[in-house]
């Protein structure tokens, strides 16, 4: 299965805010997608990206990738995100590691899902799907706990475009 996310065509200078949450790590054409989001932002518009970032050379990172499933992961490092965002007309405002908060949130939701799954007609009809989902998130939490991946949040705002004399 492949999701055709590129090219991203949004109205130019139209949005006050663009948000991407836990998605870009699955996208091959991240730079183009981020450029599309920035194009869609008004001047002083906010871009918020929350995503998994990698720590290379980790055995648990490879296991996390393998556990991800049939969709290929294209995980950047935090430095890759910062380099990409700094190369654009954005002012980086916040770069924050939210791994621990994210890990706690996932564990709470997994516990609720496990309890609801026992009572759910869906879980009884599709036990393999529920088990696969729980196994996927168990592998992701293990990778977070081992430091193979982190969850980072990047907040930036679009600067006023500068016109040079050569542009006239």
For residues 140-147, average pLDDT: 86
**pLDDT confidence bin for 1, thresholds 50/70/90:** very low
**Number of C-beta neighbours around residue 116 at 10 A:** 12
Taking only the tens place, the pLDDT of each residue in 70-128 is 667 788 999 999 999 999 889 999 999 999 999 999 999 888 877 776 667 767 777 78
Question: Which class in CATH covers the domain with range 15-100+147-160?
Answer: alpha beta
pLDDT higher than threshold 70 for residue 167: no
Angle at 100 between CA 22 and CA 47, to 5 degrees: 40
pLDDT higher than threshold 70 for residue 24: yes
For residues 7-35, average pLDDT: 89
Q: Token digits for 104?
A: 């706690």
For the chain, the domains span 15-100+147-160
């Amino acid at each position: 299965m492949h999701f055709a996310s590129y090219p991203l065509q949004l109205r130019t200078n139209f949005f006050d805010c663009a948000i991407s949450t836990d998605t870009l790590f699955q996208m091959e054409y991240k730079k183009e997608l981020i450029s599309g989001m920035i194009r869609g932002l008004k001047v002083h518009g906010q871009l918020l990206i929350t995503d998994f970032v990698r720590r290379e050379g980790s055995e648990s990172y490879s296991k996390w990738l393998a556990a991800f499933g049939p969709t290929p992961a294209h995980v950047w490092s935090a430095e890759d995100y910062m380099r990409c965002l700094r190369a654009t007309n954005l002012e980086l405002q916040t770069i924050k590691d939210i791994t621990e908060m994210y890990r706690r949130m996932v564990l709470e939701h997994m516990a609720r899902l496990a309890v609801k799954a026992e009572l759910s007609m869906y879980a009884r009809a599709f036990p393999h799907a529920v088990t696969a989902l729980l196994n996927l998130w168990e592998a992701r939490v293990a990778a977070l706990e081992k430091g193979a991946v982190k969850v980072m949040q990047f907040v930036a705002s679009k600067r006023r475009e500068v016109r040079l004399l050569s542009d006239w």
